[in-house]
Amino acid sequence: MATWFELSGAIALLLGLGTRFFAFSLFILTMVAIASVHWPMNWQTLQDLAMGYAISDKGFGNFKLPLIFAVMLLPLVFRGAGKLSLDALASRYFNTHEGQPNADLLAFALGLMVIGGPLALLLPTLGLVIAGAGVAMALLWAFLSGK
């Protein structure tokens, strides 16, 4: 199921269809893959953890490549699709951004919450701080938009 979702998500991202949804979902899938497959089994210090930042597996994990993929998804999570995407075409056709104040602020807040959740499983303090910042930004968006 994960393989089919990765393939269909890649095609959707290529077309710019449901960009933020697929970028969020693929980011979470990548974090789960890092935690379950690529993360080192035993590490006591950050130096031990840093040894897993490699392409080859020598007993320390190999989370470099999936981490690069996750970082490449972040601009799509926070900014969405470009002007030549199917999302932009649908937005112009249905005129969805009219009357939506600070829509980017809400998208950024949701992105921080989605990133902070899985990250809290790997690095609890950093993940909770990022998710908390997302919650604070969502509350700010609600205050600014009057909802």
Q: Is 92 exposed, middle or buried (0-12, 13-18, 19+ CB in 10 A)?
A: exposed
The count of structural domains within the chain is: 2
What integer pLDDT is reported at residue 35 of this predicted model? 79
What integer pLDDT is reported at residue 45 of this predicted model? 75
If asked whether residues 93 and 108 sit together in one domain, one would say no
Contact yes or no for 32/117 (Cβ under 8 A): no
If asked whether residues 73 and 122 sit together in one domain, one would say no
Residue ranges making up the domain that contains 46: 1-98
Cα–Cα distance, 63 to 79 (Å, whole number): 25
Q: Which helix (H) or strand (E) holds 67?
A: helix 64-79
pLDDT per 10-residue tile (average), the chain, 147 residues: 88 88 89 79 72 67 82 87 83 62 73 82 87 91 77
What integer pLDDT is reported at residue 62 of this predicted model? 77
If asked whether residues 76 and 121 sit together in one domain, one would say no
CA gyration radius for the chain?
A: 17
DSSP helix/strand/coil, 43:
coil
Structure tokens at 73: 């998804």
If asked whether residues 69 and 4 sit together in one domain, one would say yes
